Amino acid sequence: MLTLIKEIFIWWNRQTLGTRIHTLLFGKLVGKDSYGNKYYQSKDGKRWVIYKDEVDASKIPNEWYSWIHFTKNKIENVHDLKKFEWQKPHRPNLTGTHKSYHPNKNSYENKKKYNTWKK
């Protein structure tokens, strides 16, 4: 019951009730990426994504980014590309999370090449 209430009133929590109904009536599932996001297309060419967890546009991998933005390139029709061993997997933007990059404050203090005039 709580998920239904969230779906009706909270648009940033995955999909709303209107999106679910529109997807059931007009959407054709095109594919799914490694994160669990589902990609849909309607008969008139409209494209959208249903995110698995939190709605964040940086969670779209490169293979699907070109598809969702109607960019013509060689990987548009092949969504399961063979990755080379030197390629890193796609990561969403981690800014503001506990996994974001924070330089060590002590090492930053040691790298200063000037002396502050206030003490």
Written as tens digits, the pLDDT of the chain (119 aa) is 666 676 666 666 667 777 888 888 999 999 998 888 999 999 999 999 988 877 778 888 877 888 888 887 655 455 556 778 888 877 878 888 888 877 765 455 556 677 777 76
* Interior angle at CA 28, CA 60 and CA 45, nearest 5: 75
Instruction: Please enumerate in sequence order all residues whose Cβ is within 8 A of that of 55, keeping only pairs 6 or more positions apart, or say none.
Output: 12, 13, 14
Domain ranges of the chain: 7-89
**Directed axis angle between helix 2-9 and helix 17-26, to 10°?**
90
Global pTM? 0.60
Given the structure tokens 């529109």, which residue do they identify?
Answer: 22
